[in-house]
């Protein structure tokens, strides 16, 4: 039986990846950050080890005996926009996993990147793996670091034919969101705390579909390639209407112009610098939110057999998980 080493295994995506690996018959060794509660992995027949991707020697020790690695671990904070810690974990951590996998002669590394490493587009002409990076304009170390980590892996493939495939998720919705992260806005809607939405939109995807693409990439797909893992291009209003419907609530939000959004983001960033507390809305998040972040996942669907589950299912799974775990 093949064994897979999964970093960041207890996060929303990592938890689904572990379950998909078991479903497809793999053994799983799950790396989790020391002293963290791993409740999303409870009762799974997997081996849990503690460690930090910043420690290359530990990785060499813990990854021994595994055939593959799926590297999910990353710092995803969008505030503050500049952070040496984010850059260190996302770039140096990826480098450490890559070097350990190469030294141990592992059969394949699947790396979880982000769709933001490619330029977005409109619904009529969505972003794809062929559109060059344009994320520098946001001046966010999270986005920049994920792009640099991707380039590091692709450069190594070009130099040594290091066996890597990169999965680039769009905005994920689904269960096991213990942070919570993307599910925060669903919780806010459920508690009647989200009243406004702005112009613009995103590509939304069920996290379980991304997990399927990542696990399928252990055997399918082309080495040295990136695969945008997304599904539905929706305006924010369209997404929120779906969420309200799943909650059996009448739609009760008001659209605001982007200048108001940017002003609120600027003020949020100013207050955050003074209080040292993460803002609900920062200038960086506002700049991202006003974009039409639309992408196509045609390549991942065709080459990785990535499912395309309706986003309503992801919303329902997310809400069910939040209810079961007393978030709402």
Compute the C-alpha angle 133/134/140, nearest 5°: 105
Q: What is the mean pLDDT of residues 22-48?
A: 95
**What integer pLDDT is reported at residue 279 of this predicted model?**
78
**What integer pLDDT is reported at residue 195 of this predicted model?**
87
Question: Cβ–Cβ contacts within 10 Å for residue 21, how many?
Answer: 26
- Global pTM value: 0.95
Q: For domain 3-178+203-234+294-309, which CATH number applies: 3.50.50.60, 3.40.50.720, 3.40.50.1820, 3.40.50.1000?
A: 3.40.50.720
- The token duo for 224 is 């040295």
Structure confidence at residue 273 as a pLDDT band (50, 70, 90): confident
Structure confidence at residue 291 as a pLDDT band (50, 70, 90): confident
pLDDT per residue as tens digits for the range 59-114:
999 999 999 999 999 998 877 888 999 999 999 999 999 999 999 999 999 999 99
Structure confidence at residue 206 as a pLDDT band (50, 70, 90): very high
Q: Are 112 and 72 in contact (CB under 8 A)?
A: yes
Which stretches within 166-310 are classed as H helix?
A: 184-190, 207-216, 236-246, 258-275, 283-289, 298-304
**What integer pLDDT is reported at residue 278 of this predicted model?**
79
The helix (H) or strand (E) run that includes residue 166 is strand 164-169
Residue 1 has pLDDT above 90, yes or no: no
Q: What is the mean pLDDT of residues 301-325?
A: 98
Q: How far is CA 291 from CA 182, 286, 313, in A?
A: 17, 9, 25
Q: What is the mean pLDDT of residues 28-53?
A: 95
Q: Rounded distance, CA 268 to CA 220, Å?
A: 44
Residue 132 has pLDDT above 80, yes or no: yes
Looking at every residue in the chain, the average pLDDT score rounds to 94
Q: What is the mean pLDDT of residues 160-177?
A: 98
Phi, psi for residue 95 in degrees, rounded to 5? -60, -40
């Amino acid at each position: 039986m093949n064994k897979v080493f999964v970093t960041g295994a207890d996060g929303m995506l990592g938890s689904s990846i572990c379950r998909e690996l078991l479903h497809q018959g793999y053994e799983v060794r799950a790396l989790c950050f020391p002293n963290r509660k791993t409740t999303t992995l409870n009762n799974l027949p997997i081996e849990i080890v503690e460690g930090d991707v910043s420690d290359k020697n530990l990785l060499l020790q813990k990854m021994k005996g595994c055939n593959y690695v799926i590297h999910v671990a990353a710092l995803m904070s969008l505030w503050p926009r500049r952070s040496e810690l984010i850059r260190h974990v996302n770039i140096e951590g990826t480098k450490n996993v890559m070097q350990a996998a190469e030294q141990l002669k592992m059969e394949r590394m699947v790396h979880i990147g982000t769709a933001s490493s490619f330029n977005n587009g409109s619904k009529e002409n969505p972003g794809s793996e062929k559109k060059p990076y344009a994320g520098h304009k946001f001046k966010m170390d999270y986005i920049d670091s994920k792009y640099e980590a991707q380039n590091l892996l692709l450069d190594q493939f070009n130099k040594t034919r290091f066996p890597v495939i990169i999965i680039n998720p769009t905005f994920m919705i689904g269960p096991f969101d213990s942070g919570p992260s993307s599910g925060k806005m669903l919780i806010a809607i459920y508690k009647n705390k989200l009243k406004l939405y702005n112009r613009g939109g995103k590509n939304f995807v069920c996290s379980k579909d991304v997990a399927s693409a990542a696990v399928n990439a252990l055997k399918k797909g082309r080495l040295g390639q990136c695969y945008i893992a997304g599904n539905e291009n929706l305006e924010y209003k369209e997404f929120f209407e779906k969420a309200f419907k799943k909650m059996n609530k009448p739609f009760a939000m008001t659209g605001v112009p982007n200048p108001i959004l940017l002003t609120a983001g600027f003020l949020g960033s100013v207050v955050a610098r003074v209080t040292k507390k993460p803002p609900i809305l920062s200038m960086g998040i506002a700049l991202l939110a006003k974009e039409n972040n639309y992408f196509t996942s045609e390549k991942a669907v065709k080459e990785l057999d990535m499912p395309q589950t309706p986003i309503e299912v992801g919303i329902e799974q997310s809400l069910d998980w939040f209810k079961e775990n007393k978030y709402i």
